[in-house]
Amino acid sequence: MSLQIYNTMTRQKEVFTPIEPGKIRMYVCGMTVYDYCHLGHARVLVAFDVITRYMRASGYDVHYVRNITDVDDKIIKRANENDESCDALTERFIAAMHEDEARLGVLSPTEEPRATAHIDGIVELVETLIDKGFAYVADNGDVYYRVTKFADYGKLNNRNLEEMQAGARIDVNDVKEHPGDFVLWKSAKPGEVSWESPWGPGRPGWHIECSAMTKCCLGSSFDIHGGGPDLKFPHHENEIAQSEAANGVKYVNTWMHAGAIRVNNEKMSKSLGNFFTIREILETYHPEVVRYFLTAGHYRSQVDYSEASLKEAKGALDRFYHALRGIEPVEEGQLDNDYDARFTAAMDDDFNTAGALSVLFELTREINRVKEDAQQAGRLVSQLKRLAGILGLLQLDAEVYLQGGQDDAGDGPSAEQIEALIVERAEAKKARNFARADEIRDSLKSQGIILDDSREGTSWRRES
């Protein structure tokens, strides 16, 4: 089975064929860096990280570009509120974003261009649009895109201009020719950060940034463009209009959009008080648990965030790590099973991570079945870790994960305290002081520490 991807533009799955054989050029809209990344950002970061990992594991040379918007109205407003420069604000939140994505196991993109580093390209693109009649300078000094000039405007969202205009309110003082026209270049207001242009000092509009950065990093046409569910309109629609009008060629072959995040069946929003940043969630849950939660559902599906769903994710991840515990991986050799083929079939079906994980659970059950055969179990463990690694999971040593080490957010006694109590318990049992031994076990259990006794001794883990 060849890789099939659901294309938002055509609203169907299509066999994926890259423009250049063996190579994939992909662009994903990144963050506007005026605040900490939230769970919706994590959804997009993890989804396209898994997609990139799988395409590379399939043998593709993937050139993955994810931009940073480091100038816009929100950034300027927040910098003014904080009495700091835009540069200081954006550098701080770019660093925080990198910390968050690293903790979630998200690999760095091939390129991470910033809007402010592409001003020359943006100005050149706007000039081209004006020269071709697709843009105009308004009376207030702003430059607008003329949507009525682009015949295919609305094709990504399957809406025509009249439908998009329905209900639009037109200000009698509006400087735009048409209510759907969107800004390409904003003339500078007093005190705002600005750059020189043929139309006077100003700064780019949001949509034009991506058209300029994609052209610089990937060319006029490329394979895949992705982003969050809220970007289909107007952002991606406007990107298409700008880029195809300026360059005269098809902009993108395949459009991909991750699903939305809901919290307890309600839309996540600050006004509802159910808005969570990545770092807030990681104060309570292990990063790999959060990654598993975001990976368990199909990337296009809506994900409902709740305490119950996070606990369910932790329980599932624990099952994997329990299977790995105490087994030394060995070279896989020639495996006599079909787990690889079935995992690949699931992922080739529009990156069906839920299907891929179900295969990994079957592999886990097989590991538990043959656990007494160190060689066979070791080969299967190597296979499990390799396949799970394509999803960015099972990256830790089993003992480290189960004992809550390496970036665990949980509270409770330290590893040293637990180990000391295990020694004391062993000595109590040896002295036939079973009451004290039971007291230690029960005390640890009340603190979320589970002791597992076996012929090899006593191991411990933090409770799911």
Q: Let me know if residue 274 belongs to a domain.
A: no
- Please list the residues that pair with 135 across neighbouring strands: 145
H-assigned helices in 231-306: 237-247, 278-282, 287-296
Overall pTM > 0.85 = yes
- Look up the domain containing 227 and give its range: 4-261
Give, for 454, the enclosing helix (H) or strand (E).
Answer: strand 449-454
Q: Let me know if residue 271 belongs to a domain.
A: no
Q: How many domains does the chain have?
A: 3
**What is the predicted pLDDT for the residue at 426?**
80
**What is the predicted pLDDT for the residue at 166?**
52
Tens-place pLDDT, residues 245-257: 999 999 999 999 9
The answer to whether the beta carbons of residues 299 and 5 sit under 8 Å apart is: no
Task: Identify whether residues 51 and 125 lie together within a single domain.
Answer: yes
Q: Let me know if residue 208 belongs to a domain.
A: yes
Answer yes or no: is 250 a known binding residue: no
Strand order, beta sheet including 303-305: 266-267, 261-263, 303-305
Look up the CATH number of the domain holding residue 384.
Answer: 1.20.120.640
Instruction: Give the rounded distance of the alpha carbon of 71 from its chain centre.
Output: 22
Tens-place pLDDT, residues 149-173: 999 999 999 988 877 665 444 444 4
Domain end call among 353, 374, 402: 402
**What is the predicted pLDDT for the residue at 92?**
98
Ranges of the chain with pLDDT below 50: 167-173, 406, 409
Give all strands (DSSP E) within 181-246, no chain letters. 182-187, 202-204, 222-227
**What is the predicted pLDDT for the residue at 165?**
62
Give all strands (DSSP E) within 16-82, no chain letters. 23-32, 61-69
Task: Identify whether residues 43 and 163 lie together within a single domain.
Answer: yes
Look up the CATH number of the domain holding residue 188.
Answer: 3.40.50.620
Q: How many beta carbons lie within 10 A of that of residue 150, not counting itself? A: 19
Task: Identify whether residues 119 and 90 lie together within a single domain.
Answer: yes
Answer yes or no: is 235 a known binding residue: yes
**Of 85, 81, 95, 82, nearest in space to 33 by CA:** 95
Task: Identify whether residues 325 and 290 lie together within a single domain.
Answer: yes
Task: Identify whether residues 218 and 311 lie together within a single domain.
Answer: no
Q: Is the peptide bond before 21 cis (omega within 30 degrees of 0)?
A: no
Task: Identify whether residues 425 and 448 lie together within a single domain.
Answer: yes
Answer yes or no: is 270 a known binding residue: yes
Answer yes or no: is 239 a known binding residue: yes
Q: Let me know if residue 202 belongs to a domain.
A: yes
Q: Let me know if residue 245 belongs to a domain.
A: yes
Domain end call among 372, 402, 432: 402
Task: Identify whether residues 97 and 234 lie together within a single domain.
Answer: yes
Q: Let me know if residue 277 belongs to a domain.
A: no
Q: Let me know if residue 270 belongs to a domain.
A: no
Task: Identify whether residues 167 and 227 lie together within a single domain.
Answer: yes
**What is the predicted pLDDT for the residue at 168?**
46
3-state secondary structure of 252: strand
**What is the predicted pLDDT for the residue at 448?**
77
**What is the predicted pLDDT for the residue at 167?**
45
Task: Identify whether residues 231 and 83 lie together within a single domain.
Answer: yes
Cα 363 to Cα 337: distance, rounded to the nearest angstrom:
9
Task: Identify whether residues 37 and 163 lie together within a single domain.
Answer: yes
Answer yes or no: is 29 a known binding residue: yes
Task: Identify whether residues 395 and 428 lie together within a single domain.
Answer: no
Task: Identify whether residues 18 and 74 lie together within a single domain.
Answer: yes
As to burial, measured by CB atoms within 10 angstroms (0-12 exposed, 13-18 middle, 19+ buried), residue 95 is exposed
Q: Let me know if residue 279 belongs to a domain.
A: no
